[in-house]
Amino acid sequence: MIVGFWIAATGLALVLFLTVHLGGVGMALVDPTAFEVYATSLHHQSWLPWLEFALLAAGLGHPLLSLQRARANLQARGPAAGPLRSRRQGPWEPLAALAARLIPWSGSLLLLFLAVHVLQLRWHRPSAGAELAAVLAVLQEPWCLALYAVAGAAAGLHLLHGVESAGRRLGLLEPANAAVLRLGGRGLALVLGAGFALLPIALVLSPAVARVAGG
Ligand code: HEM
């Protein structure tokens, strides 16, 4: 199914972006001065507009194709159809089942967050050396801090189901490697979810970040 392939491919491209993005913004906590240098150098790369264009295509294509597939599934299986249930047993399975059920909601929340986030930090790009001050100004608004933390948790939940599902769609999930891929996907979801949920709080509380952001 070509739609399923593109949902998986765009989803995995977004996971790759999120992994690099967490590394980039995580640098702000570990070494705030290095983060400013990194942000300035990134903004001068000639390939950046192409990367942003690809990101926009994946960010819009992924939810639109998912919506189209959900509508087609509903028509094929009738209005009473819910998500297919897994019969697997294990300590993670209740959370994985919840993540599968909530996938349209976690995805919608992420889309809403992204609209706010891109307007705040990308639409008006801060001048060189002022990236951290802009990030901190956003995160110091209590509703923004809450939104960023909840969006981080939603990203983790979305990926808990999404990474494994994408692996299956792309034909990567074989009986021989299923357990390893599932564990890897869930580990990545946990790292990205916990990272993006906790990082905003850590940035607001860090005296070193406040010092560099204050100029
Ligand atoms: C701790 C939480 C986060 C912080 C501090 C943060 C910080 C930033 C900053 C500073 C930028 C602007 C980059 C630039 O000037 O080039 C940015 C862009 C962006 N962020 Fe985040 N971000 C966070 C979480 C997230 C999450 C959870 C997502 C996705 C679900 C996300 C998706 C994006 C996207 C799509 C862009 C636009 C990239 C571009 O066009 O260059 N961010 N973020």
Cα angle, residue 136 at apex, residues 193 and 19 outer, rounded to 5°: 30
> CB under 6 Å to ligand 1: residues?
18, 21, 25, 52, 55, 110, 114, 117-118, 121-122, 125, 131, 135, 148, 151-152, 155, 196, 199-200
Q: What pTM was estimated for this model as a whole? A: 0.91
Tell me how far the alpha carbon of residue 184 lies from the centroid of ligand 1, in angstroms: 24
Rounded to an integer, what distance in angstroms lies between the CA atom of residue 158 and that of residue 105?
9
Give residue limits of the domains in the chain: 2-79+90-213
pLDDT at position 116, please?
96
Tell me how far the alpha carbon of residue 3 lies from the centroid of ligand 1, in angstroms: 27
Tell me how far the alpha carbon of residue 40 lies from the centroid of ligand 1, in angstroms: 15
pLDDT digits over 41-86, tens only? 999 999 999 999 999 999 999 999 999 988 888 888 765 555 556 6
Candidate from 51, 108, 121 with most ligand 1 atoms within 8 A of CB, to mutate: 121
pLDDT digits over 149-183, tens only? 999 999 999 999 988 888 888 888 788 888 888 88
User: What CATH code is assigned to 2-79+90-213?
Assistant: 1.20.1300.10
Tell me how far the alpha carbon of residue 21 lies from the centroid of ligand 1, in angstroms: 7
